[in-house]
Structure 1
Amino acid sequence: MSSWRASLDDVCARIAGVFGRAEPRRWARSYLTGLLAPVERKNSWQLSEAAGAVSPDGCQHFLNRARWSADAVRDQVRSYVAESLASPDGVLVIDETGFVKKGLRSAGVQRQYSGTAGRVENCQLGVFLAYAGRSGRALIDRELYLPESWIADRDRCADAGIPEYRWEQGVLTKSRLAEAMVDRALAAGVVAGWLAADSAYGRDGKFRAFLEARRMSYVVEVPIKQTVPDTDGRRRVDTLIGRAPGEAWRRVSCGPGVRGEREYDFAWATLPEFDDTPTGFVRTLLARRSIDDPTDIAYYLCFHPDTVTREQIVAVAGARWAIEECFQAAKGQCGLDHYQVRKWDPWYRHITMAMLAHAFLAVTAATDPKAHAGWAESQSPRSAVSWR
């Protein structure tokens, strides 16, 4: 317990400089401690009670009116995770999660599809960047998605405290928000060899071009109708994979899961090279087929150095699920979705403090040798489509 408290002291010391006065600094520690505590609902009332306060006024002031920068805390979260969990083959993972809400006043809320709920809901959507290293994974950045219905209504934005600069940017797609977070991570020197994302981002050609311009290797899922270059034009990914000879499929584990190794059959092919292919890099197509149901196939477009092996590509594809684990832990243990704030700044403040709480748990777990996940390591070679 004394070691745990010392580690918490170190984390609080990292963010102390963000707060110019003692009172918000004390509340930052109380808020963080409450998010880590076994409090049923981590909202202002219960966090205040856990801190020994007689009313939620101090906690609400900390979230709504105190002078401090959530982005400055975010930068500390990112550096803390990078210093503690980074590895050369670390993976940046992009995904979004929904926060179901009642009413119409919460910043960015509207009826929209939430993957978290699996249906259209009245909700906010947050786009997140996670870091998955050999010894752990944690969320390191976040952006609140603003739909067109909000950008078009300046009065509504003003009521929700959305800053003017954000109105002026217009509608930013989730991919553009993802690009901003990746750029921040790279500018901050975060060591990462790869980026992984689901088809919501993988199907966006501009997003893939953004990553390639930065020589950022990626493994991104794409929909079945995605087309890719072939020797005589473009073909759908399912058409190309349908041509794969039987020997092209190999059974590989993409990492441990709750029921043991997650094994699938994988086929991997090199795509034709064009003038825009950077020297030393290659674009490939990966297919993941269920062992139990051979008709269940997922498709991935990949960009990486030409020395990469199938096992490395498969490991990165499997690492995408790390962000789902982050969401589950951050919501279940750190109250990521327990907030009752409606405005822009309080949303970022609560979400960022919950990210810090989750990062603290991830880094603490990484100090235990049993918490270290096994990552496949290997190296090897490489154009009409050629099966590997």
Structure 2
Amino acid sequence: MGGDLADVRVWASELDAVHGRFVHRFSRSEPRESALAYMRGLIAPLQRKNGWTLAEEASHGGPDRIQRMLNRIEWDADEVLDDVRRYVVDNLGDQDAVLIVDDTGFLKKGTRSAGVQRQYSGTAGRTENCQIGVFLAYATGRGRTLTDRRLYLPTSWTDDRERCRRAGIDDGVAFETKVAMAKAMVHRAIADRIPFRWVTADAAYGFSKCWRYELEQADVFHVMATTRHDTVVTRWALDHPVHDLFPGLPRQKWKRRSCGEGAHGRRVYDWARVEVRPWHREDRRHWVLARRSVSRPEEIS
């Protein structure tokens, strides 16, 4: 992992501090020790991470102790998440922080894992047999981490209660869209008084006018990607397609800016914005922001 011995000691000490935040959630010493071993394994430089490799890293004879901690010992994952979230706020909390909503896929072979089915996975870039998790990340100038999560259950699961029971899913768990999950996580962050200034998400979430309206009603600033088929209110029309706002803009309206380093160097684009909903509120302004490829100017997001 790099670094010298002093760095390693700092990491070990801080890991113990994180563990100390939620160790009281386990009633016996064995799951407490297994939880710490599990955390150490997750940050270890292992090529593959599963029950066997994490057990090896912890010098266990097999994966039973860690699997028992994850599968059979009673503890409340949401309570532990609350403890971790408070740790995040204590160390990274910032009034200018950004909440980032996104989902990711976990490739699976079988049919028994909760929520698994053939569905699009951003991780694989195609439709695969996988689970989908919706996540909320917290980003500040001092660092970034995940602070909330939901497992997406397709209707192929929620319409089959016996299948849900076999996977340990309670009968009270109903179908929720990914947007509804994202809303719930942001509402929870607001209710828990997590300090932040912006919410951002890709077009799978930003295309929801309903959610954008709810964020606006809560006075939450947001930058949400959307699709070219979305419409907005302008001075000229009530349902103006967003893709029609930019082709006729004068050249000087486009500003060349970098959005940071990428895998192949700095990511430079041309950017422009057009004000929309001009009569809504005097103290709040709304914009459609466009990003245009420098080498292929016909490509506008």
**Same-fold call, TM > 0.5?**
yes
- Correspondence 1:188 to 2:192: yes
Q: Distance in 2 between matches of 1:269 and 1:228?
A: 11
TM-score by length of 1: 0.73
- Cα deviation for residue 224 of structure 1 reads 1.1
Q: Distance in 2 between matches of 1:287 and 1:192?
A: 24
Quote the residue 2:244 is aligned against.
Answer: 239
- Cα deviation for residue 241 of structure 1 reads 1.3
Quote the residue 2:4 is aligned against.
Answer: none
Alignment of 1:201-216 (within 5 A): 201-216=205-220
Give the counterpart letter for 1:263 in structure 2: V
- Correspondence 1:150 to 2:157: yes
Alignment of 1:82-161 (within 5 A): 82-161=89-168
* 3-state DSSP of counterpart to 1:53: coil
Alignment of 1:215-254 (within 5 A): 215-230=219-234, 231-254=236-259
Distance 1:75-1:25 versus aligned 2 partners, 3 A rule: same
Give the counterpart letter for 1:264 in structure 2: Y
- Correspondence 1:264 to 2:266: no
- Cα deviation for residue 69 of structure 1 reads 1.1
* 3-state DSSP of counterpart to 1:211: helix
Quote the residue 1:369 is aligned against.
Answer: none
Q: Distance in 2 between matches of 1:279 and 1:68?
A: 50
Deviations 1:80-119 (A, max 9, x none): 2222223222110001000111111110011111111111
* 3-state DSSP of counterpart to 1:233: coil
What is the RMSD computed on CA atoms of the aligned residues?
1.5
* 3-state DSSP of counterpart to 2:156: helix
Q: Distance in 2 between matches of 1:98 and 1:3?
A: 33
* 3-state DSSP of counterpart to 1:272: strand
Q: Distance in 1 between matches of 2:260 and 2:58?
A: 40
Distance 1:232-1:56 versus aligned 2 partners, 3 A rule: closer
Quote the residue 1:296 is aligned against.
Answer: 299
- Cα deviation for residue 279 of structure 1 reads 5.2
Alignment of 1:162-181 (within 5 A): 162-166=169-173, 170-181=174-185
Aligned residues: 293
* 3-state DSSP of counterpart to 2:136: strand
Q: Distance in 2 between matches of 1:281 and 1:91?
A: 19
* 3-state DSSP of counterpart to 2:103: strand
- Cα deviation for residue 135 of structure 1 reads 1.8
- Correspondence 1:285 to 2:288: yes
Give the counterpart letter for 1:131 in structure 2: Y
Give the counterpart letter for 1:295 in structure 2: E
- Could you tell me which runs of 5 or more consecutive residues in structure 2 were left unpaired when the two chains were aligned: 1-7
Q: Distance in 2 between matches of 1:186 and 1:278?
A: 23
* 3-state DSSP of counterpart to 2:179: helix
- Correspondence 1:14 to 2:21: yes
* 3-state DSSP of counterpart to 2:163: helix
Q: Which has the higher contact order (CA 8 A, sep 6+)?
A: 1
Quote the residue 2:77 is aligned against.
Answer: 70
- Could you tell me which runs of 5 or more consecutive residues in structure 1 were left unpaired when the two chains were aligned: 299-388
Deviations 1:177-222 (A, max 9, x none): 0011111111222111101110000101121122112111111111
Q: Distance in 2 between matches of 1:197 and 1:42?
A: 29
Q: Distance in 1 between matches of 2:27 and 2:278?
A: 55
Report the structure, 1 or 2, having the larger strand content: 2
User: Could you tell me whether the CA contact under 8 Å between 2:269 and 2:292 is conserved in 1?
Assistant: yes
Report the structure, 1 or 2, having the larger helix content: 1
Find runs of 4+ consecutive structure 1 residues off by over 6 angstroms: none
Q: Distance in 1 between matches of 2:116 and 2:281?
A: 41
